[in-house]
Amino acid sequence: MKATTKIAGIAALAAIAILAVALVSPVYAPAACNDRADNDGDGFIDYPADPGCTSRKDKNELGTVQCDNGLDDDGDNSTDYPDDTYCTSPAGEFEANPLCGDPPQPCK
């Protein structure tokens, strides 16, 4: 094999490797609010259906309210809508009755 052919072969392999890295890079992955998947498991998919999405470019379907923030705010081992029974939708402000503690706790 000629040296020039060998170099061309190596260059081609390098180009394929760079392309492969670019394809799996998160830069090219669609944002969570535009990937047609229910990333946070609340039953709503992508912007504008998921209330946690502020735009199609939002990288996270989670929102800021307690029923959609990915945390078990009231410590009852259930997190967000629909798992936490006090949450009636992902737009729910509290995981427990706000009259029962600060932060809200399950009423006893």
Binding site for Ca ion (CB under 5 A): 32, 35, 37-40, 42, 44, 46, 50, 61, 66, 69, 71-74, 76, 78, 80, 84, 95
Nearer Cβ to Ca ion, position 16 or 59? Answer: 59
| DSSP-derived secondary structure letter, 26 | G
Radius of gyration for the alpha carbons in the chain, expressed in angstroms and rounded: 23
Closer to Ca ion by Cβ: residue 35 or 54: 35
Of 8 and 37, the one with the shorter C-beta distance to Ca ion is 37
Q: How far apart are CA 71 and CA 40, in angstroms?
A: 11
Q: Which is nearer to Ca ion, 14 or 85 (CB)?
A: 85
Least distance in angstroms from the C-beta of 25 to Ca ion: 19
CB of 98 to Ca ion, least distance (A): 13
First-last CA distance in the chain: 81
Shortest CB 102 distance to Ca ion, Å: 15
Distance between CA 4 and CA 13 in Å, rounded?
14
The closest of 64, 68, 69, 76 to 104, measured between CA atoms, is 76
